[in-house]
A and B are shown apart, each in its own frame.
Chain A
Amino acid sequence: MRARTYFAPTAVLAIAYALTASGALAEPFDRSVPPPPGPAPRIETGTYETFELANGLRVFVVEDRKLPRVTFDLWIDRPPLLEGDAMGKVEIAAELMRRGTERRTREQLDEEIDFIGARLSTGANSVRASALTKHVATLLDLVSDVVLRPSFPPEELERVRSQLSAQMRATSQNPDTIAANLVRATTYGPAHPYGEVMTPETLANVTIDDCRAVYAQFFFPNRALLAIVGDLSVEQARPLVEKYFGSWERGEIAQPSFAMPAAPESLRVAIAEREGAVQTVLTLTHPVDLTLASEDYVAARVANHVLGGGGRRLFNNLREDKGFTYGAYSQLSLDRLLGSFQASAKVRNEVTGPAVREFLSELRRIREDLVSEDELAEAKAALIGAYARSLENPENISAQAINTALYGLPPDFYKDYLRNVEAVTPERVREMARKYILPDRIWITAVGDLEVIERALAEYGPALRYDGFGRPLD
């Protein structure tokens, strides 16, 4: 039926145009006010099918026939790992999975993936692949080879090691890299897996056995979720998944626990140098004891959006009003364990001090004053619109399914999401801000010219100095 539904409208259109174009003269209208919206369209949450293999692999299928392509996303539901002296081993293990299996060398994998015009990448918790529908069987053969039979060739470890050390050198003067490391180290601290940063020393320590052990510890079907999105029905998907993943064997994953990182007792300053910097990269950050499954999640998200969403308070103040920066935003990033609050901007050296003052004043304002009904309504409209737009991409529908399973969300979380956004009140926004945005217990991190920064931030107390890898220098 594709042919007909796709092309019939064109013919109808042509006739419709012929009719309207003839006599249509624009009526006079009042240009001075924005036109009102039409009736609100229904936002339908996308649907998906799901099934489970005997080995526990949970599969989610979002059928979308618009384009002849299919995407596979495999997620491993695993706890974080403290990597310590061998920090980097999880990332390297993932890279090595893509660099050799019991059946194929790296060169063969590269050649076969490229030959069908596919993409196949491996990450610490995920494997992602896509191709045109006609290549799906070939692609799945490659994916299952990578997931079930990685061979961890020692020579590939050496190759990856030398590439990573070159990359560390190449990005060592990149202010964004330095800032990301500094933010990890301060927000979570070195005792939490989220606070660890790979350094040349830890990279040198990683062994091939470490990588094998990471794989052996985590890659089990009963701890995996597979999302299939695109030009494939659940009936087509099931036998393919059986064939390529049915022999994958179950296993158990230990659940270590980590102490929740605490926000600092008072406002602290952490700085790192970027030689010859013309901008200071500013991030105000603290950990947040909040997870996606929390009852506060939706309201806290609305509060954050009022403060630091696109075109909201931070953006308007620091960019549109002051011209300090190309953009200022805040974000609340959460997962199943914990989260963090961050407000950030890149500002020119000379306004480093004033920019921090504006950040702190905005963070305090949202905790003190009630947001106006209008401003809140605008923020909600933006979030609801963003949600509606996200449905255009079918991969977001599978992401919803995966999130629900992975983060233990209530089953109707996404169905209720819009209603829950609508229900947030100004009082609730302030309550969330007071609970999760802590301007008096925050790290002010700054990367740039040290002399500039130290002078600009002197009023907030002595600055702790870090190197480019988030290691304290003093």
Chain B
Amino acid sequence: MQNSRRVRAHLALTLATTLAITCGLLWPDGARAKADFPQIAYTEFDLANGLHVILHEDRSTPVVAISVMYHVGSKDERPDRTGFAHFFEHLLFETTEHIEDGEFAKLIQNAGGTYNGNTTPDRTYYFEVLPSNQLELGLWLESERMFLARIEEDGVETQREVVKEERRQRVDNVPYGELVEIVQDRFFSVHPYRWPTIGSIDHLNAATIEEFEAFYRKYYVPDNAVLTIAGDIDPAKTRALVEKYFGEIARGDGEIPRPTAVEPPRAGEVRETIYGNVELPAVIYAFPAPAQNDPDFYALSMMVRLLAAGDSSRLNKIVRERDEQALFVTALTIPTEDPGVAGVAGVTALGVSASGLESAIERQIERIQSEPIDARELEKARNQVESDWVQQSAGMSGIASRLATYHMLYGDTALVNTQLERYLAVTAEDIQRVAKTYFAKERRLTIHYLPESRWKRIRNGALVAFRFVRELF
């Protein structure tokens, strides 16, 4: 019986931990006590130049994740220079004052580390994971990137080609690959979320070195960045090292203007039919969504779970499995700093038309708007949130990214431990209310994406051949 005793002791202890952490919190009516989730301990501070620093110590494996998030994304770009933010994510692995062309990545790899970067409409993120004895190397690299990058014609030339290939690989050569761009373009009329993050190759071709340099000077400054270090570190020593490498970097030239455009509400449903090189029709509903920090965002996320999280969710259970209308169907919210877009998308089953799938999906949206939500179904969504929450707390690189995101885009690092409560506090009434407001028919954009006809395909083939010939001569 020793075993069960141990289990009980373990549970009691973790429960005590939970109480200690959440002590003083009032649970909203209907919510239940949180499970025994370990908290992510961290410390944060600002350097004199405005660089925000967050440290998380975890000594269990001798690795350290070092990341810098810059508050610049595609929404900060000029409409005639789209793709800059993402292009920098390529350029800034090239050359700095003290790092020769191509050496940046090599230094990380040769130290046994890994690296990557990613860009969204809201921010650009760089990280490396290194053996913990290479912490200083990582700090030096990131300080060079923030401070001493050199933008040269050679690097620009090569990376422009690489980005063109990235675009072909992700968008042009993949069935349904262009859909995200189509939705952005049709859904937003004034907000800079209307253009794709990867941007326009024409804009990148037209850009001058001076324009790239100006972008760098404006956005790649310490007071527009957060440095996060997670893993096998000594926080006091790490802080001193951060001072050493980043302390000398000058602040930016002043306030960075942020996009102020507010998307006007749609007057009525907008519908469009588009043809692409695909075999099965797809249906997309795009709805307005609140900003990620808005209380309604949590309710909308829970609603989307009821629709599409897991095989027993409404769309999967009824539309895909029971009625066999869809090969694939999903619903999602995309967290964005400014109000953005939520959506439902599906690919039809064989022999089902786009209209057939659309009405099957629409029925499920109407149900969630009009029929009371079962308590067990809400409980299920809460259990799923809890489980996902724990799963995403693993790994230093994931923790670093979450800490940076909560600080920069939510303005509250503590959410790394408390955001779960916001999801769990959502009630059935909240879900129904946001279903009615945000998923209202008159506010949606509806796209039918259909297999293009044979003649159209031949015409496209001719176009490709023409382009090929043009590039040859």
Contacts and interface: CB of A to CB of B under 8 A. Distances in A.
A325 to B, nearest CB: 5
Contacts of A346: 165, 168-169, 173
Interface in B90-111: 97-98, 102, 105-107, 109-111
A70 B57 CA distance: 23
B101 to A, nearest CB: 9
Interface string B98-138: 10001001110111111000000000000001111111110
Contact of B387 (A26, A132, A170, A385): A132
Interface in B364-397: 376, 379-380, 383-388, 390-391, 393-396
A217 interface: no
A162 B277 CA distance: 22
Contacts of B62: 41-43, 388
A167 interface: yes
Interface centre among B20, B132, B173 (most CB of A within 10 A): B173
A16 B112 contact: no
A263 interface: no
Contacts of B390: 67-69, 132
Contacts, number: 293
The contact size tier of chain B is: 35 or more
B236 A19 contact: yes
Nearest to B99: A34
Contacts of B63: 388-389, 392
B162 A392 contact: no
Contacts of B280: 166, 169-170
A323 interface: yes
A428 to B, nearest CB: 20
B274 interface: no
B259 interface: no
A7 B41 CA distance: 7
Contacts of A16: 235-236
B395 A393 contact: yes
A39 B310 contact: no
Given A17-B239, A117-B388, A279-B165, A236 B6 contact: yes
A33 interface: yes
B131 A41 contact: yes
B174 interface: yes
Given A35-B140, A110-B312, A173 B37 contact: no
B468 A162 contact: no
Interface in A372-401: 377-378, 381-382, 384-386, 388-389, 391-393
B173 A277 contact: yes
A46 B200 CA distance: 48
A232 to B, nearest CB: 9
Nearest to A449: B464
Contacts of A24: 239-240, 243
A440 interface: no
A451 interface: yes
B152 interface: no
Contact of A163 (B327, B387, B472): B327
A17 B240 contact: no
Interface in A163-210: 163, 165-167, 169-175
Given A235-B6, A276-B461, A310-B109, A40 B165 contact: no
B112 A26 contact: no
A412 interface: no
A104 interface: no
B352 to A, nearest CB: 9
Contacts of B165: 279, 323-326, 346-348
Given A3-B20, A24-B243, A17 B384 contact: no
B45 interface: yes
Contacts of A159: 321, 324
B465 interface: yes
Interface string A1-35: 11100110110011011011100111101011111
A145 to B, nearest CB: 16
A147 to B, nearest CB: 18
Interface string A93-108: 0000000000000110
Contacts of B7: 236
Contact of B174 (A25, A131, A172, A174): A174
Contacts of B396: 392
A378 B103 CA distance: 12
Contacts of A274: 173
A212 interface: no
A40 B16 contact: no
Interface string A307-333: 001110000100111111110000000
Contacts of B109: 309-311, 378, 381-382, 385
A15 B450 CA distance: 63
B17 A6 contact: yes
B376 to A, nearest CB: 8
Given A35-B140, A41-B232, A110-B311, A173 B324 contact: no
Contacts of B97: 31-32
B61 A2 contact: no
B309 interface: yes
A66 interface: yes
B43 interface: yes
A113 B317 CA distance: 13
Given A13-B236, A67-B393, A311-B106, A118 B140 contact: no
A277 B177 CA distance: 13
Interface in B123-162: 129-137, 139-141, 144, 157-162
A454 to B, nearest CB: 13
Nearest to B138: A35
A388 B309 CA distance: 34
Contact of A132 (B313, B349, B386): B386
Main SS class of interface, B: helix
Nearest to B158: A323
A361 to B, nearest CB: 19
Contacts of A49: none
Nearest to B163: A326
Contact of A27 (B38, B110, B244, B321): B244
A167 B247 contact: no
B279 interface: yes
A69 B312 contact: no
A278 B166 CA distance: 12
B399 to A, nearest CB: 11
A163 B159 CA distance: 40
B363 interface: no
A34 B107 contact: yes
Contact of A2 (B14, B57, B316, B460): B14
Given A38-B136, A163-B349, A166-B280, A20 B43 contact: no
Interface centre among A29, A107, A131, A348 (most CB of B within 10 A): A348
B349 A381 contact: no
Contact of B236 (A17, A27, A38, A322): A17
Contacts of A357: none
B277 A110 contact: no
Given A169-B350, A388-B63, A279 B324 contact: no
A235 B3 contact: yes
Interface in B205-253: 232, 235-236, 239-240, 243-244, 247-248
Given A166-B350, A169-B279, A110 B310 contact: yes
A239 interface: yes
A169 B280 CA distance: 7
Given A278-B168, A326-B169, A170 B162 contact: no
Interface of B: 2-3, 6-7, 13-14, 16-17, 20, 35-39, 41, 43, 45, 57, 60-63, 97-98, 102, 105-107, 109-114, 129-137, 139-141, 144, 157-162, 164-166, 168-169, 172-175, 232, 235-236, 239-240, 243-244, 247-248, 277-280, 309-313, 316-317, 321, 324, 327-328, 347-350, 376, 379-380, 383-388, 390-391, 393-396, 457, 460-461, 464-465, 468, 471-472
Given A166-B327, A279-B172, A323-B160, 5 more contacts: A2-B38, A7-B39, A37-B136, A385-B113, A392-B395
